[in-house]
Amino acid sequence: MEAAALAHPVFEPLRDLLHGAGSPGNAAIDRLNALAESAGVRVRSGKLLRFTPPADVPGRYGDYEIRVYETGCVETRPDNLHDYFNALAWLAFPAVKAELNALHARHIPLEGGRRGRFRDLLTLFDEGGAIVACDDADLVGMVRAHRWKELFWENRERVLHSMRVHVLGHAVLEQSLHPWPGITCKLAFVATSDDADEQAAAWLRKLADAATPRDMASLHIFGYPGWYPSGERGELYDDARYFRPLTAAPAG
């Protein structure tokens, strides 16, 4: 990974962790575990979080999410950026990640071997989620209604002042090493950046069992002012390949 790519604001929630964890690889697992131990991170079962090469996970029984819940061991492949960013997400957003895992573990035995729409929502948020901290109801409404140019161009100063995007989805973090306007996150809205992790975990706990991915709003994160070079020109937000109008009812 190039240092210039990691300097992008999308990686801001990971900034201190990136310094402590170093680059992916065998040695990084030891550093990641030292960071987890220092922070006292636990999964919801109470087990201490550990990053473990797949072959070393005790027993390797059951579904991946159940293994994490019951052992605290997160299988982490050396030299794998996807797994590396997953580990960093656990450290940066421990409450959300533990809640996602606990909800998976609770629902898996109820599904009869076939993943349901509720766990589709959990998976999409885990892989491609972001926490949007914003107490401006008008801006949140623009996101939900896909009024992209109005949001990011006509109200860019307001967005910069009142909206913060905290990306936790490890697949999106990996993709963001090479930004492009089509990268999209599923969202949890919270009031402020203070305790955003805990607020988003509380949102997850309140989800109805009937919730599906359609219940989540989406955001083209590289439309955020300053995050993509051509975003300094309003024409970017006219490109309907990426900044598409809403075609269904806004997410609730």
Residue 141 resides in a domain: yes
Q: What angle do CA 72, 124, 167 make, to 5 degrees?
A: 80
Residue 233 resides in a domain: yes
Residue type, 89: A
Same domain, 136 and 229: yes
Output the pLDDT for position 2: 72
Residue 62 resides in a domain: yes
pLDDT of 250 over the 50 cut: no
Least confident of 1-5, 115-119, 129-133, 224-228: 1-5
The mean pLDDT of 153-161, rounded to a whole number, is 97
pLDDT of 54 over the 60 cut: yes
Task: Give the count of beta carbons closer than 10 Å to the beta carbon of residue 136.
Answer: 14
Task: Give the count of beta carbons closer than 10 Å to the beta carbon of residue 66.
Answer: 17
Same domain, 110 and 165: no
Asked which of 66, 91, 115 is the last residue of a domain, the reply is: 115
pLDDT of 233 over the 90 cut: no
Q: What is the SS3 assignment for 232?
A: helix
Burial class (CB in 10 A: 0-12, 13-18, 19+), 11: buried
pLDDT of 26 over the 90 cut: no
Asked which of 86, 115, 144 is the last residue of a domain, the reply is: 115
The mean pLDDT of 126-144, rounded to a whole number, is 98
If you compute the radius of gyration of the chain from its CA atoms, what whole number of angstroms results?
Answer: 18
Asked which of 48, 82, 115 is the last residue of a domain, the reply is: 115
Residue type, 75: E
Output the pLDDT for position 252: 44
Residues with Cβ within 8 Å of residue 240, at least 6 apart in sequence? none
Same domain, 110 and 159: no
Q: Which residue has the tokens 């900034």?
A: 15
Same domain, 43 and 98: yes
Output the pLDDT for position 236: 92
Mean pLDDT of the chain: 92
Same domain, 68 and 130: no
**Residues above pLDDT 70, as percent of the chain:** 94
Same domain, 133 and 188: yes
pLDDT of 64 over the 70 cut: yes
pLDDT-based confidence at residue 51 (cuts at 50, 70, 90): very high
Same domain, 10 and 37: yes
CA pseudo-torsion sign 230, 232, 233, 238: positive
Angle at which helices 94-107 and 81-92 pack, to 10 degrees? Answer: 110
Q: Which two tokens stand for residue 101?
A: 């895992």
The range of the structural domain enclosing residue 82 comes to 3-115
188-208 pLDDT tens trace: 999 999 999 999 999 999 999
Q: Say if CB 197 and CB 108 are below 8 A apart.
A: no
